[in-house]
Amino acid sequence: MTGTLTAPTPRGGRIRYHRVLFHVTATLVALLFLAPIAWVVLASFRQATDSLKPPLPPWPTDGFTADSYVRLQEFGQSILHYTGNSAFVAIGTAVLTIIVSVLAGYGFSRYRFPLKGLVFVLILSTIMIPFQSILTPLFLLLAKMGLQNKLIGLVLIYTTLQLPFSVFMMRNAFDAVPKEIEEAARIDGMKGIAMLTKVMIPLVKPGIVTVGLFAFLNAWNEFLAALVLLTDQDKFTLPVLMTAVRYGRFGSVDWGAVQAGVMVMMIPCLILFLILQRSYIRGLTAGAVK
């Protein structure tokens, strides 16, 4: 808007015209991107009889109802149970990833030890190898360890997959902390783990949030490994359960329940992202700088 005030009139008209055109286009594109999400949000509150019909219009025509969520609740154990499984895996992965990558990041940033360079490159280079290609042996390995069909097995695998990104992030975060701060704390008698937890961790908090957020979202949404490694329905995470719902049972598929399930899967991610947007974008662009 400021442009129109300062620019001479003949060009001002063109600039205003351009700006309006830009905002109209950008808004239309935004609507296009938001439409599928809006559609499923609205459709998930339709009546059971409507859920078989096309979502035209998407909103419930005869009153909002949570019926679809109630029917989803009847699948297997209960949707809360599976949400709990997913939450366990996602939070477990986030916590373990934070612990392991903070320790490793600190070690790589502040210590010198034999083969340090090699080990760092080794951890980072696993990002080049798609985990899909090692899924078969992972399955056998977990079966041998008694971790197949256990949520904790998934947590360990997801954490490993997060390590290249997370260790890199945390190493850089610690590197950015001026060594004078550490020296001052050392003079105060801090050392070892206390130095890490009391002095360093508060300083690298943004990095920790980013690492935890990525770990949480990736674990929450992961599908293939969960599909292969979980064989007991009680252990299913949401993506695996919802695929079963989408295939229906006894030869009938309940699209209303699918919509409700998509909501249960999406909403936590959307909320987390909207709250922690800055940390998320930081993670992405830190990767870009690499």
Partner 1 sequence: MYFRTVSGAAVAAALLVPGQLAAEEFSIWVRSDGSEFMPKLVEAYNARGEHKADLQIVPVNELVQKYAIASAGGSAPDALSLDLIYTPAFAEQGQLRDLTEFAKSLPYFDSLSKAHLSVGTVDGKIYGLPFSGDASLLLWNKDLYERAGLDPEDGPSSWAEIQEDAKAIAALDDETYGFYFSGNCGGCNIFTFAPLIWASDGEVLSEDGKKAMLDSPKAVEAIDFYRGMVADGLVPAGSQTDNGANFFAAFANGNIGISPSGSFAIGALNNQYPDLNYGVTFIPGQEEGNWSSFAGGDNIVISAGTDEGKIPAIQDFIEFAYSPEGQTILAQNGAMPVRGDIAEEALAGLDERYLISAEAMANGRTPYTVVFNDLINSSNGPWVTTLNRAFFASSEEDMRQAVGDGQAQMQSVIDAAY
Partner 2 sequence: MIEANPSDEAAPPTPRRSRKGDWMGLVYVLPAIALVVVFFLVPLGMTVWMSVHDWPLMGNPRWIGLDNYQRLWGDGSFWQALGFTVLYTLAATVGLMSVAFALALMVQSEGRATAFYRTAYFLPVVTGFASASLLWAWLSNVDSGLFSPAAQMLGMTERRVNILAEFTPAFWSVTIMVIWKMAGFFMVIIMSGLQAIPADYQEAARIDGAGWFQRFRWITLPLVRQPFALALILCVAGSMLAFDQFYIILNGGPSNQTVTAVYKIFNESFVSFRLGYGAALSVVLLLILLALSVIQLRLLREKGADK
Nearer to partner 1, 77 or 218 (CB): 77
Alpha-helical segments (H) within the chain: 2-6, 9-43, 67-73, 79-110, 116-125, 135-145, 151-175, 179-187, 192-194, 201-203, 205-221, 224-229, 238-247, 255-275, 277-289
152 lies in the site for partner 2, by CB under 8 A = no
- Measured CA to CA, the distance from residue 8 to residue 253 in angstroms comes to 63
- Measured CA to CA, the distance from residue 179 to residue 110 in angstroms comes to 9
> CB of 229 within 8 A of CB of 153?
yes
Backbone dihedral region for residue 254 (phi beyond 0: left; psi -120 to 50: alpha; all else: beta): beta
Count of all residues that appear for the chain in the document: 290
Candidate residues 85, 207, 208, 211; the one interacting with partner 2 per rule CB under 8 A: 207
Candidate residues 22, 78, 197, 249; the one interacting with partner 2 per rule CB under 8 A: 22
Stretch that binds partner 2, among 7-15, 36-44, 61-69, 73-81 (CB under 8 A): 36-44
> CB of 162 within 8 A of CB of 95?
no
Residue 262 touches which of partner 2, partner 1, none (Cβ within 5-8 Å per kind): partner 2
Residue 55 touches which of partner 2, partner 1, none (Cβ within 5-8 Å per kind): partner 2
143 lies in the site for partner 1, by CB under 8 A = yes
- Measured CA to CA, the distance from residue 93 to residue 215 in angstroms comes to 6
Residue 103 touches which of partner 2, partner 1, none (Cβ within 5-8 Å per kind): partner 2
Stretch that binds partner 2, among 9-17, 59-67, 69-77, 107-115 (CB under 8 A): 107-115
Candidate residues 246, 269, 273, 286; the one interacting with partner 1 per rule CB under 8 A: 246
200 lies in the site for partner 2, by CB under 8 A = no
Identify the DSSP state of 200.
I
107 lies in the site for partner 2, by CB under 8 A = yes
Residue 233 touches which of partner 1, partner 2, none (Cβ within 5-8 Å per kind): partner 1
* Tokens linked to 171: 């190493």
- Measured CA to CA, the distance from residue 218 to residue 223 in angstroms comes to 10
71 lies in the site for partner 1, by CB under 8 A = no
Q: Residue 225 Cβ, how far from partner 2 at the closest point, in Å?
A: 11
249 lies in the site for partner 2, by CB under 8 A = no
The residue to which tokens 């009546």 are assigned: 47
Reduce the DSSP state of residue 239 to 3 states and report it.
helix
Nearer to partner 1, 48 or 269 (CB): 48
* Tokens linked to 249: 């049972």
- Measured CA to CA, the distance from residue 14 to residue 186 in angstroms comes to 63
Candidate residues 117, 146, 189, 251; the one interacting with partner 2 per rule CB under 8 A: 117
Residue 251 touches which of partner 1, partner 2, none (Cβ within 5-8 Å per kind): partner 1
30 lies in the site for partner 2, by CB under 8 A = yes
Q: Which of 161, 94, 171, 166 is nearest to 129 (CA)?
A: 161
253 lies in the site for partner 1, by CB under 8 A = yes
Residue ranges binding partner 1 (CB under 8 A): 52, 143, 146, 148-149, 231-233, 244, 246-253
